[in-house]
Chains A and B, each alone.
Chain A
Amino acid sequence: MTPSSVLLNLALSFAGLSALCLAMDRHHRAIFRVAPSRRQARALRGAGWCGIAASFAAAVILADWNFGPVQWLGSLTGAALLVVGLVSYRPRWIRPAALAALPLAAAAAFLA
């Protein structure tokens, strides 16, 4: 439950949820003007769920079964709020932000 483990959770959840968001027609269109192809959508969705699963795994490994799920759900809420804020006010920032979240997650994992 160290700050760096929460940061790792947040970064992974944010990257995963961003991918899920981009996999949806409406949001993809708002950012790239076109709907994603079926393959793109499937790849984004897969990556998104992987991110969320990785976040869960990280939470359980770092904060064990007692607190892990609590921390994971909390980080999902925080990250989702960030995605919603970006997608409605700064949609173009989503992709770079999600990509930047990955090295951030790596750094946080190194510290945690």
Chain B
Amino acid sequence: MKPGFRQSMAWLHTWAGLVTGWVMFCVFVTGTATYYRADISHWMRPELQAAAVEPGVAVERGAAYLKVHAPKAVAWFVSVPQAERPLLDVYWFDSFETPIRQATLDAGTGAPTTVRATQGGDFLYRFHYELQMMPGLGRWIVGASALVLLVALVSGIVTHRRIFSDFFTFRRDRSAQRGWLDAHNVTGVLALPFHLMITYTGIVTLAFTLMPWGITSAYRGDELRFFVEAGQSPAWRAAAGRPADALPLAPLMARAQAEVSEPLEMAIINNPGDAASTVVAVFEEPKGLAHRHPQVVFEATSGAVIARLGTLKPAAHVFTSFLGLHEAHFAGPALRGLFFLCGLLGSATIATGLVLWAVARAPKAGAVPGFALSLVRGLNLGTILGLPIGIAAFFLANRLLPVAMNERATWEGAVFFAAWGLAAMVGLARPYARTWREMGAAAALLFLSVPLVSDLTTDRGLDFAGFDAAMIAIGLTLAWGARKVSHYRGPARLRAATAPEALARA
């Protein structure tokens, strides 16, 4: 007999969800944390106090550093210090083939910063879409998983027969499987608009990675022109090959600022020192859904305005609106909190789905679980509790590693992966119910110790009260969850063992 449509969809949902669940759980958790990227970065550089620096002066300072350290670069980028990141970041390309290079300077002096070296919130942000792998490979894995997740979402909606009648239903008093199914349904349905939006727009942000062929075939060998024609970046002007003196940057920035109401975000100097050099003033996004930046382009030697970018063509506007919706830079604190909550619900939907797969296939009491089930149980443990353990260890490493350590930022990442790897190995070696309890308690303790360790190693008083409160809340939630797991399994097993009618039904 051919299975019905709904059964086929249930099968698709189960397996599409299982194979991408572990990757997408990590993507959801780190992406959710990224809503507070600036706050995390702030916390991870406790030496840094906000210092007000005139944007034009900051740009001059960054360019002065680059003139000494990267005189032959094809392009310089100086990002203006912001309230949430009071540092002067400079980037440069030595050539189009080499990767971008970066230095972090003190905004007040323009000298390399003495603040502890850390990737800050950018670490979790990069992990969110590249998994800290080679960028190409990581983006492909995340993009492909997201495509499958979209399939899992849609097939899940078809599978879920009682969306409206079970809308508010969470039955805790029935079987374990019923409880997990209800939790999966409730977290999935309540934030369904978010899940669909974030998965779809996430795929859109990776569209150029997943489907580069449209651009490569239309713009053979000149892919940069696509972004120029889409109105997203100014036309590239080739170097003239002879040196010339450029005008000071601060007055150019001031002139650009007079045209744009948003604050200055970055200055780009193309072909620095060349007669054909251009200077681009890039401003922050205007209020609106779309992620786009007004830009004013000057000729570096004469100061003449070459181009003004701001309005986009309809297709580019749709694209940047999707990007904006995904990143939610527009959200104020309250709406950001709701986005964060939705992200947590998304992570919970995936986690409960993964656990449900294992619970639904639990062997009869006394039987030995098969290899596949043990593997899934182990991976569930290693991912759902392993990743939080890694994140907590990452925060602790930020406070405990010596400030002057060599390659310090890399070591923080190494601690993250070491702690996670250790947890994953414990999970794979002991895929039992009580390991959930033990590892949950360990994760809770790690998160609860973050504010304590931070307070002992820094002297910022209550500056980080919000971050500390979040750590305590996460720790308490994990502790509560670990306790729930330990209390829930016991009575259920006891009931089943003592009540004859329950045995008869099983």
Q: Mark B332-367, 1 if CB is under 8 A from A, else 0.
A: 111100110110010000000000000000000000
Chain B residue nearest in CB terms to A4: B334
Pair A77/B191 contact, Cβ less than 8 Å = yes
Which residues from A are CB-within-8-Å of B311?
none
Which residues from A are CB-within-8-Å of B170?
84, 87-88
Which residues from A are CB-within-8-Å of B288?
66
Chain B residue nearest in CB terms to A1: B332
Task: Please tell me if A7 contacts chain B, counting CB pairs below 8 Å.
Answer: yes
B 303-348 contacts with A by CB, 8 A = 325, 330-335, 338-339, 341-342, 345
Distance A7 CA – B335 CA, assembled complex (angstroms) = 10
Pair B190/A2 contact, Cβ less than 8 Å = no
Chain B residue nearest in CB terms to A81: B190
Distance A77 CA – B341 CA, assembled complex (angstroms) = 9
Distance A87 CA – B169 CA, assembled complex (angstroms) = 8
Task: Please tell me if A44 contacts chain B, counting CB pairs below 8 Å.
Answer: no
Q: How far is the CB of B184 from chain A (nearest CB, A)?
A: 13
Pair A87/B168 contact, Cβ less than 8 Å = yes
Pair B332/A74 contact, Cβ less than 8 Å = no
Which residues from B are CB-within-8-Å of A55?
none
Which residues from B are CB-within-8-Å of A75?
338
Stretch at the interface among A21-29, A35-43, A96-104: A21-29
Given contacts A81-B341, A84-B186, A84-B190, contact A74 B335 (CB under 8 A): yes
Pair B194/A77 contact, Cβ less than 8 Å = yes
B 138-156 contacts with A by CB, 8 A = none
Contact of A83 among B168, B172, B332, B333 (CB under 8 A): B168
Contact of B338 among A2, A27, A78 (CB under 8 A): A78
- Our count of residue pairs bridging A and B at CB distance below 8 angstroms stands at 69
Pair B342/A70 contact, Cβ less than 8 Å = no
Which residues from A are CB-within-8-Å of B168?
17, 21, 24, 27, 80, 83-84, 87
Distance A39 CA – B186 CA, assembled complex (angstroms) = 28
Which residues from B are CB-within-8-Å of A74?
194, 335, 338-339, 341-342
Pair B338/A26 contact, Cβ less than 8 Å = no
Task: Please tell me if B165 contacts chain A, counting CB pairs below 8 Å.
Answer: yes
Given contacts A73-B194, A84-B168, A87-B168, contact A78 B335 (CB under 8 A): no
Q: How far is the CB of B198 from chain A (nearest CB, A)?
A: 12
Q: Mark B187-201, 1 if CB is under 8 A from A, else 0.
A: 000110110000000
Given contacts A21-B168, A24-B168, contact A80 B332 (CB under 8 A): no
Pick the most buried of A2, A26, A77: most chain B CB atoms within 10 A of its CB. Answer: A77
Which residues from A are CB-within-8-Å of B384?
none
Q: How far is the CB of B192 from chain A (nearest CB, A)?
A: 9
Which residues from B are CB-within-8-Å of A81?
190, 341, 345
What is the interface size of chain B, counting residues whose CB is below 8 A from a CB of the partner? 26
Which residues from A are CB-within-8-Å of B325?
70
Q: How far is the CB of B484 from chain A (nearest CB, A)?
A: 12
Pair A6/B335 contact, Cβ less than 8 Å = yes
Pair B190/A1 contact, Cβ less than 8 Å = no
Chain B residue nearest in CB terms to A71: B335
Pair A77/B335 contact, Cβ less than 8 Å = no
What is the interface size of chain A, counting residues whose CB is below 8 A from a CB of the partner? 27
Pair A77/B190 contact, Cβ less than 8 Å = yes
Task: Please tell me if A67 contacts chain B, counting CB pairs below 8 Å.
Answer: yes
Distance A71 CA – B333 CA, assembled complex (angstroms) = 12
Task: Please tell me if B256 contacts chain A, counting CB pairs below 8 Å.
Answer: no
Chain B residue nearest in CB terms to A83: B168
Q: How far is the CB of B181 from chain A (nearest CB, A)?
A: 14
Pair B335/A70 contact, Cβ less than 8 Å = yes
B 148-186 contacts with A by CB, 8 A = 165, 167-172, 186
Distance A6 CA – B339 CA, assembled complex (angstroms) = 12
Distance A92 CA – B289 CA, assembled complex (angstroms) = 40
Distance A7 CA – B392 CA, assembled complex (angstroms) = 31
Pair B334/A7 contact, Cβ less than 8 Å = yes
Given contacts A6-B338, A66-B288, A70-B325, contact A1 B194 (CB under 8 A): no
Pair B172/A88 contact, Cβ less than 8 Å = yes
Contact of B169 among A6, A26, A66, A67 (CB under 8 A): A26
Q: How far is the CB of A73 from chain B (nearest CB, A)?
A: 5
Which residues from A are CB-within-8-Å of B334?
1-3, 6-7
Q: How far is the CB of A61 from chain B (nearest CB, A)?
A: 16
Q: Mark B83-112, 1 if CB is under 8 A from A, else 0.
A: 000000000000000000000000000000
Which residues from B are CB-within-8-Å of A27?
168
Pair B193/A1 contact, Cβ less than 8 Å = no
Distance A74 CA – B345 CA, assembled complex (angstroms) = 12
Distance A49 CA – B193 CA, assembled complex (angstroms) = 18
Pair A66/B289 contact, Cβ less than 8 Å = yes
Pair B330/A73 contact, Cβ less than 8 Å = no
A 41-85 contacts with B by CB, 8 A = 66-67, 70-71, 73-78, 80-81, 83-84
Q: How far is the CB of B289 from chain A (nearest CB, A)?
A: 5
Pair A73/B193 contact, Cβ less than 8 Å = yes
Chain B residue nearest in CB terms to A73: B193
Distance A3 CA – B338 CA, assembled complex (angstroms) = 11
Chain A residue nearest in CB terms to B172: A88
- 25 inter-chain pairs at a CB distance below 8 angstroms, sorted by A residue, are A2-B332, A3-B332, A6-B332, A24-B168, A27-B168, A66-B289, A67-B289, A67-B330, A71-B335, A71-B338, A74-B338, A74-B339, A74-B341, A77-B190, A77-B191, A77-B338, A77-B342, A78-B341, A81-B341, A81-B345, A84-B170, A84-B186, A84-B190, A88-B170, A88-B171
> Which B residues fall within an 8 A CB radius of A?
165, 167-172, 186, 190-191, 193-194, 288-289, 325, 330-335, 338-339, 341-342, 345
Ordered nearest first, which 5 A-B pairs have the shortest CB separation? A74-B338, A6-B334, A3-B334, A88-B170, A1-B332
